[in-house]
Amino acid sequence: MAIFVPQICVGLDAGEPEAISKAARILKINFCDVKNASICKKSVDARRKNNIRLVYTVCFEFKDPGKERAILKNDSRAIFRSFEKSLDIKFGNEKLEGRPVVVGFGPAGIFASYILAKNGYRPVVIEQGDKVDARVKKVEKFWSEGVLDGRTNVQFGEGGAGTFSDGKLITRIGDPLCKQVIDLFLKHGAPIDIKIRARPHIGTDLLRKIIKSIRLEIISLGGKIRFNEKLELINFCKDRICSIATEKDQIKTNALILAIGHSARDTFEMLAQSGVKIQPKPFSVGVRIEHLQKDVEKALYGDFAGHFALPRAEYAYSHRIGGRGVYTFCMCPGGVVVPAASEKFGVVTNGMSEYARDGENANSALVVGVLEKDFGSGPLGGMFFQRKIERMAFEAGGGKYFAPITNVGSYLSGAIYKEGKVKPTYHCGTKIFDINKLFPNFVNDMLKAGIRQFDKKLSGFAEKDAVITAPETRTSSPVRILRDERFVSSVDGLYPCGEGAGYAGGIMSAAVDGIKVARALIQRFAPD
């Protein structure tokens, strides 16, 4: 048990010791009574650029547990609560037929596999892509030579799509299981600051090493991971799973976790044809917008830009008109825009930063909500909508995975594109194009409204030289694989999981969903 004191504000030069001392003074704490004092959360208050402050939550543990109640009376901000407990596991008694199988080794699949392995269930993991080291080589070959591997790319392979991003651990789900995710990342080498930062990130460079380390632990616990092997068919026996087929093998199982990621389009088609209940869900499409990172710093931090105590500046904005929204998403300070295609004849973009976030440009997705009415009927209508835009972009780029680009000045006014101070960072090459011709009118109208609106919040967002690279289409899954309160789909034994199944958005929420699904499987089946 401990006392947590939020909203402790100090100047940029003060640091953590001053925050702890200030919290102690507020609560009238004698450090002789304190067993441990630490920082639990750290953020920046930059609302007033002439007085930017660091904001801490301070935690106190006491030698005498009886002291907390009396100390709470000294300030209304103080909160008395216990630390998060370890994961509560209860074992079921139903018989497993074979070993549980996990399809996909992105965040949801990794954490589901880890929880199963940790509790003696020895999962078999099927991942169509390659191990992370080989995957990096294949992705870099695509970026440099335009040679796309449809099985191993930015979307598929060890670590999932998050391996080529910023390693963001930002989430709004507020689930206690987030601590389990953070703890496992820390155990395998993540930077300690992810434990306290309000907007934590690991960075692409560090995340790759961490994923590899977790994989080795899963194997040491009895798990088996089969890379370069693709799920082709799920076999049903009287409305329940009895086995799966890959192009290499038949695997007997009555417990299958589908953690396939938001781009597993051929698997979505196979499931729909098999009669598994799938429904379309909203998603978003748009562009990547790039500014100079130093301009973002100046706009957000004013004269304090560059101060050693401040993190790289980042933003998150949203705006609604009627029933539709436009928002920034997956902002990458000091990052680059990367080619993220997983299908031939399609162009897809994403953003990526390393831990240092020390690149010249900042980039963010700028996307518009797409509703079912926009793409017609059928469970896969949204997927076809995405694919149409990606193929149009491929043609617009000249058919070589070049991305169509423009700048904000040209996009908003129709002026002729002129290269300015912001240079595009997209790896495969770019081609100047009228982005208005790529998207439906409702997308273009909302993107332009968003640019103008966000310029009121971040001076320079509508800078004419800001570069727009298209398209950003893989913001989330276009489908939801239905499941009940036991996490089971319309076919018994099938556990849809994570972002690809439509139940998460980002590394943290996908990892948490993986834990929940693995726990549900454990509560039903006895370990073999």
Classify residue 399 as exposed, middle or buried by CB count within 10 Å of its CB (0-12, 13-18, 19+): exposed
**CB–CB of 115/123 below 8 Å?**
no
List the CATH number of the domain containing 518: 3.50.50.60
Task: Report if residue 95 sits inside a domain.
Answer: no
Pairwise CA distance, residues 453 & 472, whole Å: 20
Does the pTM of the predicted model rise above 0.85? Answer: yes
Cα torsion 10, 12, 17, 23 to 10°: value is 10
Q: What is the CATH number of the domain that holds 67?
A: 3.30.70.2700
Q: Are residues 273 and 209 in the same domain?
A: yes
Closest CA to 379 of 241, 270, 495: 270
Residues 208, 122 share a domain: yes
pLDDT, tens digit, 9 for 90 and up, residues 80-97:
877 666 788 999 999 999
27 and 163 share one domain: no
pLDDT at 69: 74
Q: In terms of residue numbers, what domain contains 133?
A: 101-280+478-524
Judge if the upstream peptide bond of residue 471 is cis by omega within 30 degrees of 0: yes
| Assigned domain for 96 exists | no
Res 83: pLDDT: 63
Same domain for 178 and 206?
A: yes
Do 343 and 434 lie in one domain? The reply is yes
Identify whether 360 is part of a domain: yes
Q: Two tokens at 273?
A: 């044809």
Is residue 296 domain-shared with residue 272, that is, in the same domain? Answer: no
**Same-domain pairing of 438 and 292:** yes
**CA-CA distances (angstroms) from residue 100 to 234, 346, 443?**
14, 35, 43
pLDDT tens, position by position, 454-486: 999 999 999 999 999 999 999 999 999 999 999
Is residue 114 domain-resident? yes
In the chain, the amino acid numbered 224 is K
337 and 434 housed in the same domain: yes
Q: What is the mean pLDDT of each run of 10 residues along the chain (528 residues)?
A: 91 95 92 92 94 95 80 80 76 96 98 98 98 97 96 97 90 88 96 94 95 98 98 94 95 98 97 95 97 98 96 97 95 97 97 96 98 91 97 95 97 91 96 97 98 97 98 97 97 97 96 98 94
Residue that is last in its domain, among 472, 491, 507: 472
Instruction: Report in angstroms the alpha-carbon separations of 119 from 95, 192, 515.
Output: 16, 26, 12
The total domain count for the chain is 3
For residue 28, is it within any domain?
yes
Q: Are residues 403 and 388 part of one domain?
A: yes
Map tokens 């030698």 to a residue. Answer: 63
Asked if the structure places residue 94 within a domain, the reply is no
**379 and 455 share one domain:** yes
Q: Are residues 242 and 350 in the same domain?
A: no
**Other Cβ atoms within 10 Å of 217 Cβ, number:** 15
164/189 Cα distance (integer angstroms): 18
Amino acid, res. 448 = K
For residues 266 and 291, membership in a common domain is answered with no
User: Which of 430, 450, 472 is the last residue before a domain boundary?
Assistant: 472
Q: How far apart are CA 28 and CA 75, in angstroms?
A: 9
Of 230, 226, 442, 187, the residue nearest 323 (C-alpha): 442
DSSP 374-395: HH-SSTTHHHHHHHHHHHHHHH
